[in-house]
Amino acid sequence: MILEIDNLGVRRNREALLDGVSLRVRRGSIHVLVGPNGAGKSTLISAILGLIPFDGRIAMNWTGSGTIGYVPQSFAVDPTLPVTVADFLALTRQRRPVCFGLTAAARLSVARLLDGVGLPGLESRPLAVLSGGELRRVLLAHALDPEPELLLLDEPTAGLDESAVRILDERLLAAKRSGRTTVFMVSHDLEQVRRLADVVTVLDRGTAG
């Protein structure tokens, strides 16, 4: 198991957002978390990432890179920030600050990442003007490189058209086939769940079953 969660609880003021959640995520699998709105699915992802306080136990059992890739349900971009898609993807791919321009190696890496999510030629597009679906694919490209040992996705098909969903499916299946990446994702897309999921956990009213 790459991820073990035992008796997890999250409270906000006096309200229990999660209560007694326990689950196991098998290494190399695509594990999907489903449930109604308000059940605490995004809260669980935030707890795994260590973004919020929680009770109980969350254990990561790394055997490889120990890296986590993450695509959030929403991602706010400051419209006044002059950052292009290439700038964003190159931030961790060169030592030189991107404000001084991209290195040749970073440009090649960015082009490869965008090709991989079906967005060729989008390097110079300002991040703030992307559609919701385009932004989600850029975030996916960022999350998949370098190759993560655990990939966390929160509603990854939101805002994606049919062709983009197919690209997402292909990337997730390729990650699974590599044997190096485990996928843990929240989804409302039941058709995608049927296509991809090895394991499905239902979260309802803050408890898992």
Which string of DSSP letters, residue by residue, matches the chain? --EEEEEEEEEETTEEEEEEEEEEE-TT-EEEEE--TTSSHHHHHHHHTT-S--EEEEEE--SS---EEEE-S-----TT---BHHHHHHTTT-SS-GGG---HHHHHHHHHHHHHTT-TT-TTSBGGG--HHHHHHHHHHHHTSSPPSEEEEESTTTT--HHHHHHHHHHHHHHHHHTS-EEEEE---HHHHHHH-SEEEEEETTEE-
pTM for the complete prediction? 0.90
Q: What is the pLDDT of residue 58?
A: 97
Using 50, 70 and 90 to split pLDDT, how confident is the model at 94?
A: low
In the chain, what are the domains? 3-77+147-208 (3.40.50.300), 81-129 (no CATH)
Q: What is the pLDDT of residue 98?
A: 67
Q: What is the pLDDT of residue 4?
A: 97
